[in-house]
Structure 1
Amino acid sequence: MLTIKSFVLFFEHLDRSSLPVVGGKGANLGELSKAGFPVPGGFCVTTYAYQNFIATSPEMNSLLDALNVIDPTDLNRLRELGEHIRTHLTQLKIPLQIKDEIVHAWASVGEDYSYAIRSSATAEDLPTASFAGQQDTYLNIRGQHELLRHVRKCWASLFTDRAIAYRAKNGFNHHEVYLSVVIQRMVIPEIAGIMFTADPVSGNRTVISIDASFGLGEAIVSGLVSADLYKVKDNTIIQKNIAQKKLAIYALSNGGTVTEELPAEKQQEHALADKQILSLVALGKKIEAHFGAPQDIEFCVEKGEFFIVQSRPITSLYPLPDIPYQPLRVLLSFGHVQMATDAMKPLGISVLRTIFPASVFVEAGGRLFIDLSDLLHSKIVRIILPKILTNADEAMSRALDEVVKRPEFLAIQPKSDAIASVRKVVAPIIKEVWKNFHLRDPKLAKAKVETYMQERLLKARQSLCGLQGAKLLQEIQHQLDTLMLDVMQNIVTYVAPSIIASRLLQRMLVRWLGNDTELSKLNKSLPGNVTSEMGLQIGDLADILRELPEVQEYLKTAKDHTFYTGLVQVAGGNKFKGAFESFIDKYGMRCPGEIDLTNPRWRETPTQLIPAIFSHMRSVKRGEHRLKFSEGAKEAEEAAQCIMDHLEESYFKSKLAQRLIKVFRYSGGLREHHKYLLIVIIDVYKQAIMSEAEKLVATGVLQQAEDVYFLTLDELIHLLQGDFNYDVSKLVTDRKDRYKWQQNLKPPRVMTSEGEIVIVPQNRGRSPEGALVGVPVSAGIVEGKARIILRPENAFLSEGEILVAPHTDPGWTPLFQSAKAVITEVGGLMTHGAVVAREYGIPAVVGVDNATQLIKDGDLIRVDGNQGIVEFLVTGKP
């Protein structure tokens, strides 16, 4: 009888649940074989055999301990330790019982066959990590002696340098990863290849991609030959690239393989005929349907018959939302619009889905995507929306513009009711925008907006008075449901005129004066910008701290939970504490990625602000931040006067320019107010939610208050009502694991419902060789050392350094005072970083793809904020 304690298990006794016993590859082959797919026969030497084998070594435990503490970037140590372990294992004897079971299984399949011997680790071919190619494979192995020798070599290959590094990087404990060995009858193919049941490049789930060549598939896997490429969609071959296949690997009759040059007439032949391609696709679709996920499948063709020798999930695909592939829909990353592309926890997602119309958002990979497909079937929306998106992220705008022009998208019939319902909501807002732009006094806008903000905040607080439990959460849900439209009507209607005025001014200045250079000066020190004022107050805190050396020393090691109690115990601590608490009273609800309610606020983790304050002290002189702001306001006044002087001879032009400047300056300062109010109100609700979470901890329902982040608002309401029908502890644990995986995903800007990630490269124009190209959003040219900052709470900027970041939102503002220039991977003309950079008068280039990888700390670079170009002058240390 075969059990999990068996040293050998045949394919027909395995399925996908067998992973702990035979690893990912073995489990998948067993599943395929049991389901009736054409899999060459064979068996697996189990992980139990591997564990018994290494147990004969007295030093393996200490060697594995050494691996668990190794730095994966220390390549010399990694190489040295890996080589030692491999040598040690290849010299260990295989225990007699294990050897006998392997030989008996081999004989039962057939001693005259050649065999493929493959490693199959328990941390391999998983839904979230493929570990492809980390262990070794041996082909065309014949005879008992060679069979056993290569089994031992497979065991040792668990410790190749690449496998050790991959496990360390992905957080796998080396003690807990075991190896099975797949021993499979060798197919001697005329043709072999790899089939992806979803396009591995674009991510499109409806496109099957096939690489095929002559001989063994090892030639393709190893990169020895360029294979033919075939792509199929809807059972139609949509692409054929026939490669020049100069070489092929063939099996030798006495074992082993040989690489041969193909005859010239065969090098350009189709590896697969059309009929074969479509038959293979049909087989691939069945395998994908069986596993319920896109597959990476290795196949062979022997005497005209297809054989499957491996199938594993494609782990590189970005997850899809739960919507049909068809009709084609276009999804825009909300995170890229908000400059917050990290994965979000369920509570944060559910709050945003409550604030915004539920039909607009879909979730995928722990991120939210905006689905405006129904509206994009309107011609006017297709024209306007990509243009509006250039303010948020130009790369997103380019991709959207490309998708909505595709014939398959244009062929879909528009939903008139969707457009009509939006028109009903938007029409009154547009009317108010027009009145504010054309008729009303812009000087009064700030007072009106701030009065509304005070009233809305008071309403948010009063609505929760006297409530607790499920009723409290239901009221929060109700208030959030009405918040966005309220903010649009009462704040955004004052902000939009400044954007319109900016665009009109730019065009008219070019037409009237020949250039728009004065516009960049008009952008400086806009009156009333709540986020710019926050940055100035960071500078004030830095100026206070300059005179308090003991406080400086304390803050270098301060902890959040004792921040204030420790502060008052050092000389000058009370003085700094008073100023700091005043700042927190006004801005403590902010933080990086603040749109996600679950991210820690500055009031909760005040040490987040310390690096920015120290950076300011190092790079900005006392009072310089206030002086620069005053000088910026003066430059803006002078620029306005300069424009008016040029136009004084034309009454019409003068009047129009005067109005546009006035609207631009006074409304532009309100650019951050709507976001500020949303964050203030979200934080009020967060505090209420966390008070309920503490009660759930006290009653033993949750282990810690932050576990509430892994429940949605609806789930939390049901939990408080006592009708939650799930194991809360298990649900939270599962979601924590999923969130950890989602954090490693890179979300696309634009994705279709078919899974295609749409990227339209920027036109490089006449940019210098080797330069990086982005979108110019704040004028000026500077040179300086690059400082790569991935998270602002860990950031230190020195004088003259250029901030290079994935993105910025208001939580990054404290660093802007210290930066000489700004470069981001995400962004557009009106995103936070662009607006603040223009106000501070520092050059900025956004939308620079992979800037944080291509630019290194210490690189001397030139940032051209006029043309959107970043040049390398001197590279820093590697």
Structure 2
Amino acid sequence: MMVNTTYEHMVMDAQAACSADKNLLGGKAYNLAWLTRNQYQVPAWIVLTTTSFEQQLAYCQLTDQVRALDQLSPTEQREQCALIRQKLAASNLAPNLASKLKHYLAELPKGRLAVRSSAADEDSTTLSFAGQLDSFICLEDYPDIAKAVINVMVSGFGERAVRYRQQHQRSLSQTTLAVIVQTMVEGEYSGVFFTAHPINGSRKQGLISACHGLAEGVVAGTADCDEFTVDLFSEEIKPQIHQKQFQIVYAQTIGQGTERTSVPEVLQEKPCLSPQQIQLIKQQGFQVAQQLGRPQDLEWTIVHDQLYWLQTRPITSLPAPEQPIGKRQVWDNSNIQESYCGITLPLTFTFALRAYQTVYQQTFQLLGVSKSKLQALQPALSNMLGLIQGRVYYNINHWYAALQILPGFKTNKADMERMMGLQDPVDFIESQPDNWRQRLTRLPDSLHALSRLCWGFMTMDKRVRDFESHFKSTYQQVNRALLHTQPIAELMAQAEWLQRQLLDNWQAPIINDFMVMMTNGRLHRQLQALGIDNAEALQNNLLAGETLASTEPTKHLMKLCDYIRNKPGLARLLTGLANDEVMPAIQYCYPEFYKRCQDYIEAFGDRCMGELKLESTTLRQDPHFLVALLKNYTANPNLNLSTLGKTERNLRTQAESTLRQQLMLQPLGKYRWRYHRIWKLLNLWRKAVKNRESMRLARTRAIGLIRDIYREIGQQLAFYGVIAEPEDIFYLTVTELEQYMQGTTVQTQWQSLVTTRKAEYSEYQQQDLPHHFQTVGPVYLHNEFKAKTLSSFDKAVPHGANASSENQQLKGIGCYPGVVTAPIKKIFSPNDDLDLQGHILCTVRTDPGWAPLFPTAAGILVERGSTLSHSAVVARELGIPAIVNIPGLTQQLETGQWVTMDGTTGHIQLQQSPLTTKQIHAELNTQSEDADQKTNKAKAVLEETSV
């Protein structure tokens, strides 16, 4: 801290202060000078500048002690500040400072004075120091004023101020302040005016707090106040009038300071301020805020209808607005969390965001949407997804905006909500206006889009064949084994080439998705029109028996298990070793079977939990998941290809029979028409769902290629020290990688950036978000991401409850019939215990990579999803009772709890465990087999196998 040895600027009057620097005046005096300079009515004042403070420290020989404060620990700082306070408080004003003060006091009007602090960083845009420093009012004699000046300086090192600085990481060695001496205006009414509302957070309203007497009553909270909410842009006033029993006034009996007295009874129930006074305070105070360009906290007083401003400072904090202003947006991830489960890292999200824009833009071009309309749609197409606390959500507003391009918006909207599993349809997004002139204007475009869409449906078989042929040709041009030989520039170019080749030719999957959506919705309405009870369950059963690509990995696994069962030594090796030991042992002892496992990984190695996330670990990187599945399958002798799907085919036959019987009840004139229409629709729907699963497998393999390319880029960036480890690449964005190549990135030191993002996403892991919520205005500001209701619960079940009451149950959407009573097992990742024998699988969401787990489960409960989600479709093909769309499921149930699930009605009933306490302890003891025994067992298996 530099000591100014000149005395020129130790004390200033208001006129001189108007052109002085803030570092000399401190925050409060600088703002007071601004009010004075801009012709606002301010009581006469002078200021002892920060130079005075430095001179006083030097006079007390405290300069060096203050300079050394930052070198001490927090505890030592507080102890040293106490010694500084003690020495400073015992001093008199430095003679030269006292002389200056007396001179300037003589120029102030006669009367009582106030002495206030003005620290260098007080009343700043970030720190207010409110209540941290001392003030003294109603002083008359010089000795009292001089002592007050000393005490204000002492408060700069007070316990409150020191802790405040430590909490805000401000230097203590730079502590410096000025002191204001101001003429007291003993107001009849006083108070504060916030030009932004401190309670409801509105920046379009202000709040005036007013009391009788001095403003000290409002600031210190010792007087009763009226409050007036004022609209800044109208004359509207919302008063809250309170009984005002007490006020703070000059202490006449003592002749110094203030005292608390009673307000005259006749005034206690009346408003402090008239409407004219309120408008005057609002107009002048709001003008101050406008001139300074930010909301202000102003202190005022009124004497004989004259308004005086005592201080102004920026408002440093406001609550979230009670009524936020901005666009209302709806977010839902009931469907997309199947693809991007849990936390999704930046590289994956930015890749997906770009992919959605590219694919849907092509689709609308294919449908003949004009360039002008497509241009108007760009804000929606480029933001169809959102990333909220690390979770991917659909921006439903933008999906609806895109959907309105197609004819029949209301019907398509309902069909999309049904396919996506939206539990809370969005009612504030309406169809385009229904005026006949507008409909007529839109008719040519609608008919053109409809004809293109119908043509797309009619040519779907050829489109699917062309898509699969093009995909196979592109896929075969990338050699994974040679990626490590390519430098980063080639890898980036190859990733871009893959995206162009695949994403730019993705119309077939999107057109087919429209076909799934529309045929699903139309079939549902047709079944309802027939008066069929539980039409949704019947429709689910009608889909049973389809051979889908999503179950192909399961069938191949069963073939591998058949091979294992015919090799006793291989079976013993599989069950006797830990998962991470199995593959090396198989490679050495059973090379033929190892080759079959590698063929499986080549075909389905990219199909894993979270298979569309670039950061997911697949079987290519870690085959442990495959080993766990093989163990589970071989442990169940009844699980084989011959029994797979038999139950489901029977269910499909029964459902078709029920549909025929219901059609027979129709009048003869309608029978044939409805029969052919429904059966044609049913076949189209089945084919569309089958095509969807087939093309999604292609999507999974494409993402697998791109994943491996980015992993290799990460390897090389880590090799050259750009990032700390290869996996750090997933915390970067696609754009950042491209800008790094092009020389347009704004940050090249990525390790600190990745560290920050890792910490942020780690926090997100500990949080849970609802599947559906709304935001208003800036998405990440003042929005809590909370659901309104859990409408799918009949009644919330207490944690750990074993109730059997009919009312205490959960309810979702039944996807495959069957009643199962068994304990549940919650599984969220490949690292969890995957042994599902005799258990009901319970999880938040699934994707196709979960399919191999299903055959060993007694039943399936999924928190998210719809009747067309992967978990529902695969469960139907495998014939496993399943329920989806059960919000809060994993929070209400715990592993080991027994439930009865009904796959037809969607009800889940909690049951009391049939196991006795003794049986439970025995089972736990069996599961906790000693680690040494396991190791010895593994060694014995290897020795036996090698023999």
Q: How does 1:297-376 map to 2 (within 5 A)?
A: 307-308=312-313, 311-312=316-317, 337-339=336-338, 340=340, 344-357=344-357, 359=378, 360-362=381-383, 371=398, 375=402
**TM-aligned CA distance change 1:246 to 1:497, over 3 Å:** farther
Looking at structure 2, the residues matched to 238 and 535 of structure 1 have their Cα atoms a distance apart, in angstroms, of 71
Question: Contact 2:826/2:895 (CA < 8 Å) preserved in 1?
Answer: yes
The aligned residue for residue 813 of structure 2 is 776
Looking at structure 2, the residues matched to 368 and 211 of structure 1 have their Cα atoms a distance apart, in angstroms, of 38
Shift of 1:680: 0.8
Looking at structure 2, the residues matched to 867 and 231 of structure 1 have their Cα atoms a distance apart, in angstroms, of 55
Query: Which of the numbers 414, 428, 436 marks the counterpart of 1:402?
Result: 428
Shift of 1:623: 0.9
Looking at structure 2, the residues matched to 606 and 482 of structure 1 have their Cα atoms a distance apart, in angstroms, of 30
Looking at structure 2, the residues matched to 807 and 227 of structure 1 have their Cα atoms a distance apart, in angstroms, of 54
Question: Contact 2:858/2:880 (CA < 8 Å) preserved in 1?
Answer: no
Looking at structure 1, the residues matched to 834 and 451 of structure 2 have their Cα atoms a distance apart, in angstroms, of 47
The aligned residue for residue 527 of structure 2 is 509
Looking at structure 1, the residues matched to 328 and 911 of structure 2 have their Cα atoms a distance apart, in angstroms, of 44
Looking at structure 2, the residues matched to 625 and 806 of structure 1 have their Cα atoms a distance apart, in angstroms, of 29
Deviations, residues 703-745 of structure 1 (Å, cap 9, x unaligned):
544444455556545655xx52558751453255246425646
Looking at structure 2, the residues matched to 697 and 751 of structure 1 have their Cα atoms a distance apart, in angstroms, of 39
The answer as to 2:710 corresponding to 1:686 is no
Corresponding residue SS for 1:822: strand
Looking at structure 2, the residues matched to 383 and 584 of structure 1 have their Cα atoms a distance apart, in angstroms, of 44
The answer as to 2:686 corresponding to 1:647 is no
Deviations, residues 834-867 of structure 1 (Å, cap 9, x unaligned):
434454443424262x554455556666767667
Q: TM-score, normalised by structure 1?
A: 0.62
Query: Which of the numbers 608, 616, 621 marks the counterpart of 1:604?
Result: 621
The aligned residue for residue 107 of structure 2 is none
The aligned residue for residue 168 of structure 1 is none
Q: How does 1:369-448 map to 2 (within 5 A)?
A: 371=398, 375=402, 380=407, 383-384=410-411, 386-391=413-418, 393-395=420-422, 398-399=425-426, 401-404=427-430, 428-434=452-458
Question: Contact 2:230/2:282 (CA < 8 Å) preserved in 1?
Answer: no
Shift of 1:30: 10
Shift of 1:434: 4.9
Shift of 1:402: 1.7
**TM-aligned CA distance change 1:151 to 1:494, over 3 Å:** same
**TM-aligned CA distance change 1:230 to 1:836, over 3 Å:** farther
The aligned residue for residue 593 of structure 1 is 610
Q: How does 1:654-665 map to 2 (within 5 A)?
A: 654-665=675-686
Looking at structure 1, the residues matched to 29 and 576 of structure 2 have their Cα atoms a distance apart, in angstroms, of 62
Deviations, residues 428-476 of structure 1 (Å, cap 9, x unaligned):
344222566xxxxxxxx6x984774254132243278998754553454
**TM-aligned CA distance change 1:833 to 1:684, over 3 Å:** same
Q: How does 1:150-161 map to 2 (within 5 A)?
A: 152=159
Deviations, residues 738-786 of structure 1 (Å, cap 9, x unaligned):
4642564669755566549698846949944767987625366766656
**TM-aligned CA distance change 1:531 to 1:841, over 3 Å:** same
Please, which moves more after superposition, 603-612 or 420-429?
A: 420-429
Structure with bigger gyration radius: 2
Query: Which of the numbers 532, 538, 555 marks the counterpart of 1:519?
Result: 538
**TM-aligned CA distance change 1:684 to 1:760, over 3 Å:** closer
Looking at structure 2, the residues matched to 316 and 791 of structure 1 have their Cα atoms a distance apart, in angstroms, of 39
Q: How does 1:827-838 map to 2 (within 5 A)?
A: 827-838=865-876
Question: Contact 1:609/1:793 (CA < 8 Å) preserved in 2?
Answer: no
**TM-aligned CA distance change 1:197 to 1:136, over 3 Å:** closer
The aligned residue for residue 794 of structure 1 is 832
**TM-aligned CA distance change 1:653 to 1:375, over 3 Å:** closer
Query: Which of the numbers 822, 826, 842 marks the counterpart of 2:861?
Result: 822
Unaligned runs of 5+ residues in structure 1 are 4-27, 58-88, 127-131, 164-175, 201-205, 437-444
The aligned residue for residue 96 of structure 1 is 83
Query: Which of the numbers 673, 686, 694 marks the counterpart of 1:673?
Result: 694
Looking at structure 1, the residues matched to 901 and 282 of structure 2 have their Cα atoms a distance apart, in angstroms, of 50
Looking at structure 2, the residues matched to 140 and 217 of structure 1 have their Cα atoms a distance apart, in angstroms, of 12
The aligned residue for residue 584 of structure 1 is 601
The aligned residue for residue 474 of structure 2 is 459
Looking at structure 1, the residues matched to 583 and 616 of structure 2 have their Cα atoms a distance apart, in angstroms, of 21
CA RMSD of aligned residues (A): 6.9
Corresponding residue SS for 2:749: helix
Query: Which of the numbers 650, 664, 683 marks the counterpart of 1:634?
Result: 650
Looking at structure 1, the residues matched to 659 and 576 of structure 2 have their Cα atoms a distance apart, in angstroms, of 50
The one-letter amino acid of 1:555's match is A
Corresponding residue SS for 2:813: strand
**TM-aligned CA distance change 1:596 to 1:226, over 3 Å:** farther
Count of residue pairs brought into register by the alignment: 743
Between the two structures, name the one with larger relative contact order (CA 8 Å, sep ≥ 6): 1
The aligned residue for residue 60 of structure 2 is none
Question: Contact 2:217/2:247 (CA < 8 Å) preserved in 1?
Answer: no
The one-letter amino acid of 1:461's match is Q
**TM-aligned CA distance change 1:529 to 1:106, over 3 Å:** farther
The aligned residue for residue 60 of structure 1 is none
The one-letter amino acid of 2:428's match is E
Shift of 1:631: 0.9
Q: How does 1:280-299 map to 2 (within 5 A)?
A: none
Deviations, residues 36-57 of structure 1 (Å, cap 9, x unaligned):
799xx99999998587254649
Looking at structure 2, the residues matched to 183 and 819 of structure 1 have their Cα atoms a distance apart, in angstroms, of 74
Shift of 1:640: 1.4
The answer as to 2:881 corresponding to 1:842 is yes
Looking at structure 2, the residues matched to 859 and 47 of structure 1 have their Cα atoms a distance apart, in angstroms, of 65
The aligned residue for residue 741 of structure 1 is 760
**TM-aligned CA distance change 1:718 to 1:183, over 3 Å:** closer
The aligned residue for residue 548 of structure 2 is 529
Looking at structure 1, the residues matched to 723 and 282 of structure 2 have their Cα atoms a distance apart, in angstroms, of 54
Question: Contact 2:541/2:652 (CA < 8 Å) preserved in 1?
Answer: yes
Question: Contact 2:453/2:511 (CA < 8 Å) preserved in 1?
Answer: yes
Looking at structure 2, the residues matched to 99 and 457 of structure 1 have their Cα atoms a distance apart, in angstroms, of 84
Unaligned runs of 5+ residues in structure 2 are 4-25, 37-46, 54-64, 102-111, 137-147, 252-256, 359-377, 666-670, 798-807, 914-947
Looking at structure 2, the residues matched to 788 and 805 of structure 1 have their Cα atoms a distance apart, in angstroms, of 6
Shift of 1:686: 3.0
Corresponding residue SS for 2:476: helix
Corresponding residue SS for 1:357: helix
Shift of 1:488: 2.9
The answer as to 2:492 corresponding to 1:473 is yes
Please, which moves more after superposition, 136-145 or 701-710?
A: 136-145
Please, which moves more after superposition, 807-816 or 752-761?
A: 752-761
**TM-aligned CA distance change 1:151 to 1:635, over 3 Å:** farther
Looking at structure 1, the residues matched to 29 and 706 of structure 2 have their Cα atoms a distance apart, in angstroms, of 49
Corresponding residue SS for 1:844: strand
Looking at structure 1, the residues matched to 664 and 795 of structure 2 have their Cα atoms a distance apart, in angstroms, of 41
